[in-house]
Copies of this chain bind each other. A is one copy, B any other.
Amino acid sequence: MAASSSSSSVVSSSSSSSSDKGSGRVLQFDAFQSLVDEGFWHRLSSLKLDSLGLDQSPVPLTGFYAPCSHPKVSNRLTLLAESLPSDFKELQFSLERAHGNRNRCPVPGTLYNMNTFESFKALDRDSLLKKEAKKILDDIHSGKVEEDSAVLSRFFIISFADLKKWNFLHWLAFPALVVGPPAMVLDLRPAREVFNQGEVQSLSAALNEWRKSSLTTGVLYFLVSIASNSHATIRQLKDWKACQDDGQKLLFGFYDPSCRLDNPGWPLRNYLAFISLRCQDGKIQFLCYREKRGFADMGLSLVGEAVISPSKDCSDPQCVPKAVGWEPKPKSINLAESMNPERLAVSAADLNLKLMRWRQLPSLDLGTLSSVRCLLLGAGTLGCQVARMLMAWGVRKITLLDSGLVAMSNPVRQSLYTLDDCLDGGSLKAVAAARTLKRIFPAVEAEGVTLSIPMPGHPVPTNEVARVLEDCERLRDLIASHDVTFLLTDTRESRWLPALLCASENKIAITAALGFDSYLVMRHGAGPLYVSDQTNSLSTVDGNGGQRLGCYFCGDIVAPIDSTSNRTLDQQCTVTRPGLAPIASALAVELLVGLLHHPNGIHAPGEIANSIMSSSEQPFGILPHQIRGLLPQYSQVTLIGHASNSCTACSTTVVSEFRRRGMEFILQAIDHPTYLEDLTGLTELIESANSFKLDWDDETDDSDM
């Protein structure tokens, strides 16, 4: 910490001598004290994270104080949440808005918030004090004080906000100009003792009127003119010349925060400097205005007489003034304890994300992320991990859908479950997963939906048709009411209906699928009926005239069928290398975050690594269509697969038919998978079109739910 001798110049009340009136001793001042409300630090935290980032520029502040209103308690300069601008756009906000509250007379200040503890310690406090005092001196010389006297009480604060621990270190200063020899006090007494009865009454009435008017209630410095007939008038500082000349008794009045009877408060210091530089030197009278129960109190208010010397030192506007005014020591406040855990959790969770915007990702749109509604189909290995990744990215609205119960084999791979969830037959997966998400982060809006996705090749018995139709409609409603659907189920055929519904609703769909040691992550292209109003033949053309991106089924040449019956145990369930699911889940969410930040959204073209349209400029990097990885080679590639006119899930033919016939169409597709092949002409396609063939093997069937 840079040494500062100036703080010792602050007069503590105990060092002031007793009131031997008129003895010509050096006038001493009761030191000003500050009080920083917790709300100030909360506002600062938000401002830092959301707007300032690494910017260490000084931040304009408004402090508040009022005349002392209690015989034993001095008023303090108070910093509240409103002392700070609420966001960056307001950084130049005016003091005006704070006018009109008699208990909060606004004073301008400056915040120097440092990014590190080291830079806080390294601040040269002497220079800073001089720099701030110079502003006051400039305002005196320029005449600004006469227009807005509050600048005489200008203050500043240096701070370091440890936003991880919610600890706030700060040190405040009230710069006081040292412009010449100290003022000598000749007399200092309660106003009641100085003035006659008539003067006291008239002055009280005038001051109460002044304080009542919203125009003047916050004006800290003023003039008191007392006529020989005891009539007192309160006037603006800019009228000092007129007052001086009118031959009446003139007192320099100010709102005194101090309660001490033997010393005036700190604001008088700069007032005297102003008076000596702009008004007069020699003998002057001043009024320390104080109140009781909201009215002028002539017993508490002091009247003083002092002799001030001409301020030789600072009559030159270019001079760098000496100054004092640091509070005795820095203060530290920790808010973690006073915040409720949920609020702390929200702040903490946002912290890492907001920090990203300081340097690496200024364009990160946390508002979009926190409001995007994500539907996760499958709450297994992929679903659990995708939900965790979404929360880590600041997504706050997550719905998980699953029809199963938590099985004993789940917890070691499915990261939202513990053994407790397996007892008594096992909890419903979707419900248990949502419950855990809330335990991790209470502010998440997580919901679990227990629903079985109807699948082609799994014909529906007559007595279950009603239930299946209901499930279809519920799934459709869920997809429609969310912005993004993740396809994370463990069979190919369970992805068909969601893929179709997303294509029909033109919703973002992200697929993650696992083989034994390979993975596929892809985003489905936009829905076919949203890219063009033209005929079916144009359904694979996107808005830019390029080919629409494909969905999970676009590369297939057979309709999805029942892939689970008659499978051995290792084919039925989660037989994948454990590392795959976290990798694929992470990539799926990163892909979504990239997509949400792309100006074209769901219509964004597919990019491949090191492609010509170099996206290295883009903060999130490229936005691929498909990412495929092979663990045995530790390799990963990006691919583009275009939409197929014969796709059983997203082609115009299928989507149109679904829209025309609705659930009847779905039931037919479920009961008779060849119906889809007939409808889309897949049989013909097998012979003619290898052009879009993707060599992904069938192992993606063995995917992990």
Contacts and interface: CB of A to CB of B under 8 A. Distances in A.
Nearest to A392: B578
A7 interface: no
Contact of A411 (B163, B336, B360, B441): B441
Given A164-B409, A409-B348, A420-B439, A586 B587 contact: no
A610 B436 CA distance: 42
A567 B574 CA distance: 44
Interface string A323-365: 0000000000000100001101101110110011011100000
A582 B586 contact: yes
A577 B621 CA distance: 12
Interface centre among A566, A590, A633 (most CB of B within 10 A): A633
Nearest to A436: B418
Contacts of A629: 636
Interface in A566-600: 566-570, 572-575, 577-580, 582-583, 585-587, 589-590
Given A389-B578, A570-B359, A589-B578, A624 B634 contact: yes
A2 interface: no
A415 interface: yes
Contact of A578 (B115, B336, B440, B586): B586
Interface centre among A419, A436, A629 (most CB of B within 10 A): A419
Nearest to A122: B566
Contacts of A627: 634
A310 interface: no
Contacts of A570: 54, 355-356, 358-360
Stoichiometry (number of copies): 2
Contacts of A117: 566
A393 to B, nearest CB: 5
A23 interface: no
Contacts of A348: 407-410
A620 B578 CA distance: 13
A531 to B, nearest CB: 25
A575 B359 CA distance: 10
Interface centre among A54, A442, A583, A631 (most CB of B within 10 A): A583
A441 B412 contact: yes
Given A119-B566, A569-B355, A589-B578, A164 B407 contact: yes
B634 A622 contact: yes
Interface in A141-198: 162-165
A632 interface: yes
A163 B582 contact: no
A163 B119 CA distance: 62
A621 B616 contact: no
B633 A54 contact: no
A590 B579 contact: yes
Interface in A373-413: 385, 388-389, 391-393, 407-413
A635 to B, nearest CB: 5
B616 A622 contact: no
A348 B578 CA distance: 15
Nearest to A336: B408
A665 B636 CA distance: 43
Nearest to A359: B570
Given A440-B419, A578-B392, A579-B587, A351 B409 contact: yes
Nearest to A590: B579
A464 interface: no
Interface in A607-628: 609-610, 615-616, 618, 620-622, 624, 627
B355 A573 contact: yes
Given A407-B164, A412-B441, A575 B635 contact: no
A517 interface: yes
A488 to B, nearest CB: 15
A355 B568 CA distance: 10
Interface string A537-576: 0000000000000000000000000000111111011110
A423 interface: yes
Contact of A634 (B359, B587, B589): B587
Interface string A283-295: 0000000000000
Interface centre among A393, A574, A582, A609 (most CB of B within 10 A): A582
A32 interface: no
A615 B630 CA distance: 13
A123 to B, nearest CB: 13
Given A441-B419, A586-B583, A589-B578, A345 B408 contact: yes
A615 B590 CA distance: 31
Interface string A200-239: 0000000000000000000000000000000000000000
A32 to B, nearest CB: 31
B632 A621 contact: yes
A65 interface: no
A633 B516 CA distance: 24
Nearest to A426: B336
Contacts of A393: 578
Contact of A352 (B441, B575, B580): B575
18 contacts: A115-B568, A118-B565, A341-B408, A345-B422, A348-B407, A348-B410, A352-B413, A352-B574, A358-B569, A389-B582, A415-B415, A419-B442, A579-B587, A579-B589, A582-B582, A610-B635, A622-B634, A634-B636
Given A164-B409, A355-B575, A635-B636, 6 more contacts: A54-B568, A116-B569, A164-B572, A582-B586, A587-B634, A621-B630
Interface of A: 54, 115-119, 162-165, 336, 341-342, 344-345, 347-349, 351-352, 355-356, 358-360, 385, 388-389, 391-393, 407-413, 415, 417-420, 422-423, 436, 439-442, 516-517, 565-570, 572-575, 577-580, 582-583, 585-587, 589-590, 609-610, 615-616, 618, 620-622, 624, 627, 629-636, 638
The 7 closest A-B pairs by CB, nearest first: A621-B632, A348-B408, A579-B586, A392-B578, A348-B409, A118-B566, A582-B582
